């Protein structure tokens, strides 16, 4: 086997990768038996000279490829533990909770996994009704349910963290059915349609190997004994019966949409702190415009995926940053509320990213300058924006998504909307400036105009459309924990994990956080 690093080729040569690799090594083409991709990225810094960049392992005849991870390998690692080491309760079946549960099982723990929403099939039915007629179930929606909020995002697996467990998370997702390219793509994504299959496989595996998964079960309180968290009280939302789940450790992966959990923790004296986050709008453009802007003459090339962008602007006079976030090429905008009188929007893409539209959040940083009060003030600030957006979009007796063209937003006028858009729910015209405090609206104005410097006509494109409000970029609070043990600084036995705890952002980093928390517990217990 020979390894090739940083092999740069034209998109036109992608179909000839075997021949090019052989020539690079000085081999005859027929000597190449297998090519294993280690890394693939797109260099679009010069849009009319786009290049593909590969790192490869090239195997000659007679050499075998190393085996890839499989669910069977994971099952065997669980079977290695014959005697239970303890009992754990995991709250939330998002990425942090699922990976915590899997890692606990691999370390010999009995696992009770509590999820307030339903399984994926039931969740899809509830969400379809919400998109269609505005009927929201506050416990079972785009944010709550098996798979967490990441199930309706894009299946994006990009992360800025550089932890060694990132590869473990990606390999596990592959083992449960994610496409192989997540193991080597620079910006890996599964797609909202395929991530559902992956999570279904993962939850079925957990059940088959002994985890007890309780859907429609909402944690309402912590169970305390001599100052230590020793379990939780939870309500079965279908029967109305409250149960007690005792445990040696409670892993709290509630997600950043669970406002009621933050308020319960505050009432219980769990140490919280406010943290900066970001709020704004979601902007939509034709995907063809983004492709043309990023790839130039290569815009329609079959070897290139739908183009994306990342834009930032510093608004000096306001001392604010504005940036794009959670960009969804070939995707859709969707309402993602968790409260009946609030409106939140998010973006998602399926695996093929074949929608006519591209969308991204455009958000402004917010912090303690924007609110006053106790730890929940940051949460109340978010809540106010969401109720403003709800009121702006309420139409004909139902909740709709408030929308406005970028041109009208910049002029602060209300105009018409196109008959079709990339939003999965009805939209209505609104003055989106009025959702925000004046300085936040001004920062959004300035940021949109400055984005034109990075992507020409970003703000001036005639089909550019805005939707409100994007307010769930990250948690508004952090549940304080020890940096080494992952244990709550105020409540031993409680392990806050994932996005809702304020320590992660996105599927991969949340999964890594849940995995690391369990490993920290094991190291402490057996050190």
Q: Are residues 143 and 113 in the same domain?
A: yes
The DSSP call for residue 406 is H
Name residue 359's beta-bridge partners. Answer: 284, 328
Same domain, 240 and 292: no
How many domains does the chain contain in total? 3
Picking from 68-72, 148-152, 156-160, 444-448, which range would have the lowest pLDDT averaged per residue?
Answer: 156-160
pLDDT at 80 over 90: no
Sort strands 228-236 and 312-315 into parallel, antiparallel or unpaired: unpaired
Residue 66 lies in a domain: no
CATH number of the domain that residue 198 is part of:
3.50.50.60
- The domain boundary residue, chosen from 60, 75, 93: 60
Residues 6+ apart with CB under 8 A from 508: 95, 157, 158, 159, 161, 166, 169, 170
> Across-strand partners of 222?
232
Confidence of residue 526 (pLDDT cuts 50, 70, 90): low
In a shared domain, residues 451 and 485? no
Q: What CATH number corresponds to the domain at position 13? A: 3.30.70.2700
Q: What is the spatial distance between Cα 33 and Cα 26, in angstroms, rounded to a whole number?
A: 15
213 falls in which pLDDT band (50, 70, 90)?
very high
Helices (H), 134-258: 165-175, 192-208
Q: Which among 339, 333, 275 has a CA at the least distance from the CA of 476?
A: 275
Task: Tell whether 522 is covered by a domain.
Answer: yes
Please check whether residues 432 and 509 belong to one and the same domain. no
pLDDT (average), residues 126-153:
94
Residue 265: alpha-carbon gap to chain centroid:
24
Residue 282 sits in the same domain as residue 403? yes
Residue 12: domain span? 2-60
103 falls within a domain = yes
Contact 510, 283 (CB under 8 A): no
Q: CB of 254 within 8 A of CB of 91?
A: yes
Question: Is the previous residue joined to 469 through a cis bond, with omega within 30 degrees of 0?
Answer: yes
pLDDT over 60 (residue 515): yes
342 and 431 share a domain?
yes
Instruction: Give 162: exposed, middle or buried? Use CB within 10 Å, 0-12, 13-18, 19+.
Output: exposed
Residue 81 has pLDDT above 70, yes or no: no
Euclidean distance between CA atoms 65 and 276, whole angstroms: 46
Mean pLDDT of all residues in 274-298: 97
359 and 407, same domain (yes or no): yes
Residue 286 shares a structural domain with residue 194: no
Residues 6+ positions from 133 with CB-CB distance below 8 Å: 398
Is 75 domain-assigned? no
CB atoms inside a 10 Å sphere around CB 313: 22
Same domain, 325 and 209: no
What torsion do the CA atoms of 149, 154, 160, 166 make, to the nearest 10 degrees? 80
Indicate whether 167 belongs to any domain: yes
Q: Mind giving me the DSSP string for 390-411?
A: HHHHEETTEE-EEEEEHHHHHH
pLDDT reported for residue 527: 57
265 lies in some domain: yes
pLDDT band at 145 (very low <50, low <70, confident <90, very high): very high
Q: pLDDT (tens digit, 9 = 90+) per residue, 32-49?
A: 999 999 999 999 999 889
Report the run of H or E that residue 404 belongs to, with start and end: strand 401-405
**What's the predicted TM-score (pTM) here?**
0.96
What value does the mean pLDDT take over residues 115-119? 97
Pair (188, 199) in one structural domain? yes
Given a cut of 60, is residue 23 above it in pLDDT?
Answer: yes
What would the mean pLDDT of 74-103 be, rounded to a whole number?
A: 88
- Per the CB < 8 A criterion, the answer to whether 460 and 407 are in contact is yes
Q: Is the pLDDT of residue 218 over 60?
A: yes
Asked, for residue 127, whether it belongs to a domain, the answer is yes
Give CA–CA dist 499/274, Å, rounded. 14
pLDDT tens-digit map of 440-486: 999 999 999 999 989 999 999 999 999 999 999 999 999 999 999 99
Choose one of 451, 470, 489: the last residue of a domain. 470
Residues forming a β-bridge with 233:
221, 244
Pair (329, 435) in one structural domain: yes
Instruction: Clarify whether residues 255 and 342 are in a common domain.
Output: no
Domain-embedded: residue 298: yes
The pLDDT > 70 percentage for the chain reads: 99
Q: Nearest to residue 157, comparing CAs of 174, 142, 144?
A: 174
pLDDT at position 160 over 90:
no
How does residue 508 score in pLDDT terms, banded at 50, 70 and 90? very high
- Name every residue whose Cβ is closer than 8 Å to that of residue 443 and which is 6 or more positions away in sequence: 315, 318, 320, 322, 364
């Amino acid at each position: 086997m020979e390894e090739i690093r940083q092999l740069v080729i034209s998109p036109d040569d992608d179909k000839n990768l075997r021949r090019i690799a052989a020539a690079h090594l000085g081999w005859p083409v027929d000597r190449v038996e297998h090519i294993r991709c280690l890394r693939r990225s797109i260099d679009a810094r010069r849009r009319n000279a786009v290049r593909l960049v590969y790192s490869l392992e090239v195997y000659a005849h007679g050499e075998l490829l190393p085996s890839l991870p499989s669910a069977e390998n994971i099952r065997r690692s669980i079977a290695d533990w014959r005697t239970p080491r303890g009992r754990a309760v995991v709250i939330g079946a998002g990425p942090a909770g699922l990976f915590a549960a899997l890692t606990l099982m691999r370390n010999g723990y009995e696992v009770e996994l509590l999820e307030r929403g339903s399984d994926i099939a039931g969740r899809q039915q509830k969400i379809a009704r919400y998109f269609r007629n505005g009927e929201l179930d506050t416990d079972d929606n785009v944010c709550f349910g098996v798979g967490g909020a990441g199930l309706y995002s894009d299946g994006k697996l990009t992360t800025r963290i550089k932890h060694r467990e990132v590869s473990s998370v990606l390999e596990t997702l592959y083992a449960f059915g994610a496409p192989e390219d997540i193991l080597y793509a620079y910006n890996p994504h599964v797609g909202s349609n395929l991530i559902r299959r992956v999570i279904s496989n993962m939850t079925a595996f957990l059940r088959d190997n002994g985890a007890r998964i309780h859907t429609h079960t909402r944690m309402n309180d912590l169970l305390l004994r001599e100052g230590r968290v020793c379990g939780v009280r939870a309500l079965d939302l279908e029967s109305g019966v409250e149960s007690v789940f005792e445990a040696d450790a409670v892993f709290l992966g509630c997600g950043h949409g669970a406002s009621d959990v933050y308020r319960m923790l505050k009432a219980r004296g769990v140490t919280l702190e406010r943290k900066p986050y970001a709020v704004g709008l979601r902007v939509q453009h034709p995907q063809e415009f983004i492709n043309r802007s990023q790839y130039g003459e290569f815009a329609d090339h079959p070897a290139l995926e739908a183009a994306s962008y990342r834009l930032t602007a510093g608004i000096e006079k306001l001392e604010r940053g504005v940036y794009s976030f959670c960009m969804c090429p070939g995707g859709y905008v969707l309402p993602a509320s968790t409260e009946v009188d609030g409106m939140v929007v998010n973006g998602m893409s399926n695996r093929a990213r074949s929608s006519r539209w591209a969308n991204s959040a455009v958000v402004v940083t917010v912090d303690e300058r924007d609110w006053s009060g106790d730890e929940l003030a940051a949460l109340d600030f978010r809540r106010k924006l969401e109720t403003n957006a709800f009121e702006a979009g309420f139409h004909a007796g139902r909740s709709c998504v408030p929308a406005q063209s970028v041109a009208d937003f910049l002029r602060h006028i209300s105009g018409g909307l196109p008959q079709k858009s990339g939003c999965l729910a009805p939209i209505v015209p609104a003055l989106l400036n009025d959702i925000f405090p004046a300085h936040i609206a001004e920062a959004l104005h300035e940021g949109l105009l400055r984005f034109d410097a990075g992507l020409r006509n970003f703000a001036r494109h005639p089909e550019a459309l805005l939707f409100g409000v994007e307010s769930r970029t990250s948690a508004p609070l952090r549940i304080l924990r020890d940096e080494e043990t992952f244990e709550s600084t105020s409540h031993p036995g409680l392990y806050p994990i994932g996005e809702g705890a304020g320590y992660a952002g996105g599927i991969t980093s949340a999964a890594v956080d849940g995995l690391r928390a369990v490993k920290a517990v094991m190291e402490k217990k057996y050190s």
